[in-house]
A = this chain, B = another copy of it.
Amino acid sequence: MSFSAPLNEVIAALGGDLVGASDLRIARIGPLEGADAATIAFLANPRYRSQLSASQAGCVIVGPAMAEAAAERGGAYIVTPDPYLYFARLTQWWAARVRPSAPARIHPSAVIDPDAELGEGVDIGPLAVIEAGVRIAAGARIGAHCVLERGASVGADSRLAPRVTLGFDCRIGARCIVHSGAVIGADGFGFAPTKSDDGQGRWEKIEQLGAVVIGDDVEIGANSCIDRGALGDTVLEDGVKLDNLVQIGHNVRVGAHTAMAGCAGVAGSAVIGRHCTVGGGAIVLGHLSLADGVHVSAATVVTRSIAKPGTYSGVFPFDDNASWEKNAATLRQLHALRERLRALEKKL
């Protein structure tokens, strides 16, 4: 990246109060530590204040409370109400310059059914497969090797990275991003137990008759899976953000602006509220309801519904192996220990 931009262009685009050399050219966005005179950095958490004074960054983005500290450091700084948000928008501005989208084209190697509808300015990558009845709205970009099955639809300005599967009749809203390897609309995991003629148990498939419906501004991570509903639809509301390798079972509803970190899993028919967060590797069992504003810590297993907003956790505290072994062994007698404690209490 040999791109660079003068600070006053940043200010013109993103606002903020610039103090200091507006003709400074910025060549990179970076952390306070290790920054050089061509780096723009930010300080969002006052805890890292000491890093601010030591930083060699050409320009620092700070909140009003840190403006004085920034002035003491010397060098340019931008004052803005929310430095982290400013930083986010700066990365967007930067990315649009450093790696602008190529002009839209329909790659000749793509296999596109004549009964698919493609909006204006749609981009289709090499070797993508677009089946009959697919609708792709204006400005959407479909990566190489994507497969959009019959009747699927993609909203305006959404972007599918290479190698995404969008199953039949599944719908993605506008301005969504879906990363490579994600599978939207595979069958939910549904089987009825039955017996063969020999009396042995086996599983009878329940065909999954629903689809997946995804709102606007949703992001789905690499190799994540969103299963189609059994009878109704699986739903991700607007603004949901899923990290990589996340599993969403059939009939699940994820409320608007809820975010889930990598390797999280939500079993079938669970209903997750709005503005929730689910930590990495956490699991929500099937048929549960989580209220709006519930925060599930990483690796926690949610085994019953949660009606009250708040933070919920359940992880075995790790330890050196020998200590863990002793405590874990004792844990298997915990109920008995309680009974012994009770007996002692009675005695006294």
Please report A residues at the B interface, Cβ cutoff 8 Å: 28-31, 82, 84-85, 87-89, 91-92, 94-95, 98-99, 107, 109, 111, 125-127, 129, 143-145, 147, 149, 161-163, 165, 167-168, 177, 179-181, 183, 186-187, 189-194, 200-209, 217, 219, 221-223, 225, 227, 230-232, 239, 241, 243-245, 247, 249, 256-257, 259, 261-263, 265, 267, 275, 280-281, 283, 285, 296-303, 310-321, 323-335, 337-338, 340-341, 344-345, 347-348
Contact = CB atoms under 8 A, between A and B. Distances in A.
A159 to B, nearest CB: 11
Given A126-B111, A280-B285, A320-B312, A334 B332 contact: no
Q: Which 5 A-B pairs have the closest CB atoms?
A: A314-B318, A88-B192, A95-B207, A186-B222, A91-B207
This chain: how many copies in the complex? 3
Contacts of A230: 91
Contact of A232 (B30, B125, B283, B316): B30
Contacts of A207: 91-92, 94-95
29 contacts: A31-B231, A88-B206, A92-B205, A94-B207, A109-B111, A111-B126, A129-B145, A147-B163, A163-B183, A167-B180, A183-B244, A189-B241, A203-B259, A205-B219, A223-B225, A225-B262, A262-B265, A280-B283, A280-B285, A283-B298, A298-B303, A300-B318, A301-B318, A312-B320, A313-B321, A314-B318, A331-B331, A331-B334, A337-B338
Contact of A189 (B243, B331, B348): B243
A165 to B, nearest CB: 4
